[in-house]
Amino acid sequence: MLVLVINSGSSSLKYQVRDVSAHEHEAGVLAEGLIERIGVGNGGGGDGEPIGPRDHAEALELVDARLHEVLGDRTVDAVGHRVVHGGERFAEPVLVDHEITRAIERLNPLAPLHNPANVLGIRAIAEKWPTMPQVAVFDTAFHRSIPEHAWRYAVPDWLYSRHGIRRYGFHGTSHQYVAHRAAQLLGIPEEEFDGVILHLGNGASATAIQGGKSVDTSMGFTPLEGLVMGTRSGDIDPSILVFLGRQGMNPDEIDALLNRESGLKALAGSNDMRSVVEAAESGDEAARTALAVASYRLAKYVGAYHVAVGGAHAVVFTAGIGENSGAFRALVAERLGALGVELDDALNAERSKEPRVISAPGSAIPLLVVPTDEERAIAEATATVVERASAGSQPVGSA
Ligand code: ADP
């Protein structure tokens, strides 16, 4: 089965075509690309700036043209969408129909930047290929198993009942995929795997896994909570927001400050971990402090989640930083010494695309590196949902 995986943003559309029948060791990627500047740059056009497609429908025409070139006679069998927010309703990927599309739209207030764009992507596909099965795969779904003591904020109930203010968590597709691969690597059945997954990319989150399920995660009501990220602050005292409001900053300014101007960028002047590590190695004090703040915060979460899961079988690094930055992994590992964690420097320095162990044989908790592959996870989930539907249990709807 060929699955077109779509990640649509407000002005961009990222796509990949995966052959789901490819074997484990093959990537199965037949085509991929990114369409940018959707609905942007059509005003003047005389400044040499490329003119982007007018809307998501026009962007899809560009994707279709490229797919014809690459795939020839083969055609896409289904489309899988990365949808950021599934609220409290969606605990699994679902086949999209009118009602599902409207349900995703109703969640717009919880993810104002992302869900509207996801809906545009779904509608554009439905217009162009009305009989194409579409599946929504939610970033929040894997975290629906988090118990109330972990998802509830200690605030008056109307915040939850009226506004849906609770912890949801994100990066779920990645955490689920990586937990699955980590259990495989350790030879533990997935439903018996307890561990801590560290997804460290531009956005970063840690998830506590117990019995193969998410029981806590560091991102909360929005992706801002938790770890120090590329440009996000992660945890701060909420009174700081009140303070800034009283100083005259408006909500949009505070939002931009904490989501786009904070994190590594604020501490070290760059949100690129490579540059921060290089700067720290050549003696830059601010970069050293940034690494110390980020690795300390992360180690605290690992300690907390080790407790949450009743003793982790493994701590697993993934995503851009987790997979590639041996230097940052070493800083975190050092802080985990109190738990009996011991890194193997040679294994940590190896570069590989394969899941692997990087701790010493005597380490009380093994440290693993497991590359994530969200597109693959979305393609496989899409194929499973479509196959189940065509086996008769659910009618194939169009959005
Ligand atoms: P996104 O959340 O945008 O998908 P990624 O998972 O691609 O992000 O991670 C981006 C981060 O990974 C950046 O901080 C980048 O510096 C870091 N990174 C990527 N490659 C390396 C590398 N070889 N060494 C250190 N850091 C790296």
**Average pLDDT for residues 24-40, to the nearest whole number?**
87
Residue 251: per-residue pLDDT: 96
d(CA 220, CA 234): 10
For residue 209, the CA-to-ligand 1 centroid distance in Å is 24
91 and 204 within one domain: no
246 and 311 within one domain: yes
**Average pLDDT for residues 41-60, to the nearest whole number?**
73
The predicted-structure confidence for 149-174, as pLDDT tens digits, reads as follows 999 999 999 999 999 999 999 999 99
Band of residue 49 on the pLDDT scale cut at 50, 70, 90: low
Sequence-distant (6+) residues with CB within 8 A of 38 are: 10, 11, 12, 13, 52, 53, 54, 55, 56, 58, 59
- Of 6-15, 183-192, 214-223, least confident by mean pLDDT is 6-15
Q: Concatenated DSSP letters for 80-112?
A: EEEES--TTT-SS-EE--HHHHHHHHHTGGGST
Going by their DSSP bridges, the two strands 94-95 and 134-138 should be labelled as antiparallel
For residue 392, the CA-to-ligand 1 centroid distance in Å is 42
Is 272's C-beta closer than 6 angstroms to any atom of ligand 1?
A: yes
Asked whether the beta carbons of 85 and 138 are under 8 A apart, the reply is yes
User: Within a domain: residue 341?
Assistant: yes
| Residue whose structure tokens are 């693993």 | 368
The predicted-structure confidence for 278-331, as pLDDT tens digits, reads as follows 999 999 999 999 999 999 999 999 999 999 999 999 999 999 999 999 999 999
User: Within a domain: residue 169?
Assistant: no
Residue nearest to atom 21 of ligand 1 (CA): 324
Catalytic, out of 19, 139, 235, 373: 139
Q: Concatenated DSSP letters for 189-205?
A: -GGG--EEEEEESSSEE
Residue nearest to atom 27 of ligand 1 (CA): 321
387 and 274 within one domain: no
Residue 2: per-residue pLDDT: 95
356 and 239 within one domain: yes
Domain with 329, as residue range(s), is 187-365
- Of 35-44, 74-83, 198-207, 277-286, least confident by mean pLDDT is 35-44
User: Within a domain: residue 305?
Assistant: yes
How many alpha carbons lie under 13 Å from residue 327 in its C-beta half-sphere?
A: 14
Residue nearest to atom 7 of ligand 1 (CA): 320
User: Within a domain: residue 79?
Assistant: yes
203 and 127 within one domain: no
Band of residue 187 on the pLDDT scale cut at 50, 70, 90: very high
Asked whether the beta carbons of 17 and 67 are under 8 A apart, the reply is yes
Q: Which SS3 state, helix, strand or coil, does residue 133 take?
A: coil
Q: Is 318 exposed, middle or buried (0-12, 13-18, 19+ CB in 10 A)?
A: buried
User: Within a domain: residue 166?
Assistant: no
Has 344 been annotated as catalytic? no
133 and 199 within one domain: no
Residue 334: per-residue pLDDT: 98
386 and 349 within one domain: no
Token representation of residue 330: 């070493």
Is 108's C-beta closer than 6 angstroms to any atom of ligand 1?
A: no
Residue 50 confidence (pLDDT) above 90: no
81 and 109 within one domain: yes
The predicted-structure confidence for 344-395, as pLDDT tens digits, reads as follows 999 999 999 999 999 999 999 999 999 999 999 999 999 999 999 998 765 5
293 and 256 within one domain: yes
User: Within a domain: residue 355?
Assistant: yes
pTM of full prediction above 0.85 = yes
Is 201's C-beta closer than 6 angstroms to any atom of ligand 1?
A: yes
Residue 243: per-residue pLDDT: 98
Residue 137 confidence (pLDDT) above 60: yes
Residue nearest to atom 12 of ligand 1 (CA): 320
Is 320's C-beta closer than 6 angstroms to any atom of ligand 1?
A: yes
132 and 50 within one domain: yes
Q: What is the mean pLDDT of the chain?
A: 94
Give the CATH number, domain containing residue 94: 3.30.420.40
Is 230's C-beta closer than 6 angstroms to any atom of ligand 1?
A: yes
Residue 398: per-residue pLDDT: 44
Band of residue 122 on the pLDDT scale cut at 50, 70, 90: very high
User: Within a domain: residue 221?
Assistant: yes
Percent of the chain with pLDDT over 70: 95
315 and 198 within one domain: yes
Is 325's C-beta closer than 6 angstroms to any atom of ligand 1?
A: yes
Residue 393: per-residue pLDDT: 61
Q: Which of 7, 175, 318, 324 to mutate for ligand 1's pocket (most ligand atoms within 8 Å of CB)?
A: 324
- Count of the separate structural domains present in the chain: 2
Residue 211 confidence (pLDDT) above 50: yes
- Of 215-224, 330-339, 388-397, least confident by mean pLDDT is 388-397
Atom of ligand 1 nearest to the CA of 264: 14
For residue 398, the CA-to-ligand 1 centroid distance in Å is 37
**Average pLDDT for residues 255-284, to the nearest whole number?**
97
- Of 1-10, 18-27, 362-371, least confident by mean pLDDT is 18-27
User: Within a domain: residue 64?
Assistant: yes
80 and 192 within one domain: no
For residue 370, the CA-to-ligand 1 centroid distance in Å is 14
